[in-house]
Amino acid sequence: MKLTMPRYDQAAVLVVGDVMLDRYWHGGTSRISPEAPVPVVRVDQIEDRPGGAANVALNIAALGARALLVGVTGNDEAAESLSDSLNGAGVETHFQRLDDQPTIVKLRVMSRHQQLLRMDFEEPFNTDTVALAREVDTLLDGIKVLVLSDYGKGALQNHQVLIQAARNKGIAVLADPKGKDFSIYRGASLITPNLHEFELIVGGCADEAELVSKGATLMRELELGALLVTRGEHGMTLLRPDHAPLHLPARAREVFDVTGAGDTVISTLAASIAAGEELPLAVALANLAAGIVVGKLGTAAISAPELRRAVQREEGSERGVLSLDQLLIAIDDARAHGEKIVFTNGCFDILHAGHVTYLEQARAQGDRLIVAINDDGSVSRLKGPGRPINAVDRRMAVLAGLGAVDWVVSFGEDTPERLLKQVQPDVLVKGGDYGIDQVVGADIVQAYGGEVRVLGLVENSSTTAIVEKIRSK
């Protein structure tokens, strides 16, 4: 399965569910309380993060998709904090605010990146289900996916009404289920229980074969379009009627905190499906995203650049020979990570010591080095008959193998000016003994505020001289 980044900017997802605020008190500990055998935390930082359904919506927005959120809160300071942070991140919030009940808050006391205590402030909501369903119905136009983010806190009490409203408009419904009754999700396009939640419904599974068998029965009974069981360190399993099961291994390199991992899975799934991706690819992307988030502390949103870099690493396109479209995506990702882009160009027909030294010097001018090389027709026009000695694909492969080179791309014109206008590197580098004003493309780069640098060449190293020497023998 080849992974690609979806066009999340074309996706629109509506999230309905239990909204909560994850609040963190951070501070140092240096002594034990004289009142009880507990550490004393000197709080020096308070941090608020959207949790539950709010975290799902935040993750969807972080991927670049349009995210709408319907939920229930109190009419209090915590609700204001949620609204401010979500709206600031681009989430459209539609809260049913209750004057007589508090917003759900989960307060965690942290010290040295360790959670010492969690305190929950919550009461089951007395939701006006008719008003909430009416609100959802008014927001469904233009939506590609509806997510039911169910934490059993009372915001969702009319699952079937919401599922049917979405299905009547051809909208896929994804549900992150809770509780011991999955019949409330009947007719959903996909549900995403973790293994513990799944086994509470179907009973223990001794092995994957039993998991697949019981999952198939559950899908049949509940008329589900698909079932995704997340299995922690064992990855996840996608089941679909009339399809072979898809088992994906866990992708986390180091598990630091599993808080919010389920939110990341369903948000990536929803955004990917809404962007038009097939379900297996959407699941693979969600698996990658989950591997990223468990390496972070607390609930955290996965950004599009983070996911894109993981995809590039997975597909081996983080470095090497790229098409122009791939290169532009890689550059966007690098810039999102604050990296400086360096560009150089040439024929590089026969790679020699001078080239290697020059490329190492060029790479030192920034964080990522692009080497653009003339294609075969361009080299022939510039160097004359009999050149190039090596075809463009071989020249690109050799350059891509150098540690100093990040990306290699070819161009067909005699100069890289058109490429420079599209790539817009931070630094244009050229080797030689001429002035900056003589570097082809210097005016283009300087016009948008980039730098142009001329580096010296290693003496007695010339491709033309090497070719002439070979021909003279």
Which residue in 371, 397, 399, 385 sits closest to 471, CA to CA? Answer: 385
- CB neighbours of residue 120 within 10 Å: 10
Is 263 catalytic? The answer is: yes
Rg of the chain (C-alpha set): 28
* Spatial distance between the Cα atoms of 200 and 204, rounded to a whole number of angstroms: 8
- Give the distance, in angstroms, between the CA of residue 82 and the centroid of all CA atoms in the same chain: 23
Calculate ∠ Cα 65-48-148, nearest 5°.
45
* Residue 287 assigned as binding residue: no
* Spatial distance between the Cα atoms of 405 and 389, rounded to a whole number of angstroms: 22
* Residue 254 assigned as binding residue: no
Calculate ∠ Cα 342-343-349, nearest 5°.
135
Q: Please count the helices (runs of H) and the strands (runs of E) in the chain.
A: 16, 19
* Residue 168 assigned as binding residue: no
Helix (H) or strand (E) holding 273: helix 261-274
At what angle are helices 304-315 and 324-336 packed, to 10 degrees?
130
Q: What contacts 200, CB < 8 A, 6 or more positions away?
A: 180
Instruction: Report strand pairing: 427-431 vs 451-455.
Output: parallel
Cis peptide upstream of residue 388 (ω within 30 degrees of 0): yes
Cβ atoms of residues 321 and 397 within 8 Å: yes
Q: Residue 444 pairs with which residues in a beta bridge?
A: none
Catalytic residue among 18, 22, 150, 263: 263
393 φ/ψ angles, rounded to the nearest 5 degrees: -65, -35
* Residue 285 assigned as binding residue: no
What percent of the residues of the chain are helix, what percent strand, and what percent coil, each to the nearest 5? Answer: 40, 25, 35
195: helix, strand or coil: helix
At what angle are helices 261-274 and 279-293 packed, to 10 degrees?
150
Active site residues: 263
Q: Give binding residues as ranges.
A: 194-197
Q: Give binding residues for ATP as ranges.
A: 194-197
